[in-house]
Homo-oligomer: A and B are copies of this chain.
Amino acid sequence: MGTVTKALSLLSFFAPDRPEIGLSDLTRLSSMNKATVYRLMGELQAAGFVEQGEGDRAYRLGPQVLHLAALREASTPILSVSRRILRELSDETGETTHVSLGHDSWVQTLSHAYSPRHATKVTMEDAQTVTYHATSSGLAILAYADPQFVDSILSQPLKSHTSKTLVDPDLIRSKLEQIRQTGLADTLGSFELEVHSHAVPIFGADHRAIGALAVAAPAARMPAAQQDIIRAALRRAGAALTHRIGGRPPADYPQCAAP
* Complex contact B66–A69 (CB within 8 A): yes
- A48 cross-chain contacts in B, Cβ below 8 A: 103-104
Given contacts A14-B71, A73-B126, contact A66 B79 (CB under 8 A): yes
Closest B residue to A126 by beta carbon equals B70
* Complex contact A9–B73 (CB within 8 A): no
Q: Does A101 contact B (CB under 8 A)?
A: yes
Given contacts A4-B4, A5-B43, A40-B4, contact A103 B72 (CB under 8 A): no
Q: Does A144 contact B (CB under 8 A)?
A: no
Given contacts A4-B7, A39-B2, contact A110 B67 (CB under 8 A): yes
* Complex contact A65–B72 (CB within 8 A): yes
What is the oligomeric copy number? 2
Q: Find residues 4-45 in chain A having any chain B CB closer than 8 Å to their own CB.
A: 4-5, 7-9, 11, 14-16, 19-20, 39-40, 43-44
Q: Does A210 contact B (CB under 8 A)?
A: yes
* Complex contact A19–B74 (CB within 8 A): yes
* Complex contact B71–A69 (CB within 8 A): no
Interface residues of A (CB under 8 A from B): 2-5, 7-9, 11, 14-16, 19-20, 39-40, 43-44, 46-49, 54, 60-76, 78-79, 101, 103-104, 108-111, 125-127, 205-206, 210
